Amino acid sequence: MFFENRNKMQQPAKIILIVLIAFSMWGCGVYSFTGASIPPQATTFSVDFFPNNAPLVQPTLSQVFTDALKDKFSRQTNLQLTTGVGDLHFEGSITGYSVQPQAIGADDRAAQNRLTITVQVTYLNDYQAETEFEQNFSRYYDYDSQQSLAAIEPTAIDVIIEALVEDIFNRAVVNW
Tens of pLDDT, residues 9-65: 566 555 554 544 444 444 444 334 446 788 899 999 999 999 999 999 999 999 999
According to CATH, the superfamily of the domain at 42-174 is Lipoprotein like domain (3.30.160.150)
pTM passes above 0.85:
no
Average pLDDT of 145-162?
A: 96
Q: Which helix (H) or strand (E) holds 97?
A: strand 88-104
CA 101/CA 46 separation, integer angstroms: 37
Which of 116, 112, 132, 131 is closest to 164 using CA atoms? 116
pLDDT digits (tens, 9 = 90+) for 81-131: 999 999 999 999 999 999 999 877 766 677 899 999 999 999 999 999 999
CA 148/CA 158 separation, integer angstroms: 17
Domain extents in the chain: 1-30, 42-174
CB atoms within 10 A of CB 138: 15
Strand, helix or coil for residue 123: strand
Give the pLDDT score at 13.
Answer: 57
Is the separation of the CB atoms in 173 and 88 below 8 Å? yes
Q: What mean pLDDT is reported for the chain?
A: 85
pLDDT band at 75; cut points 50, 70, 90: very high
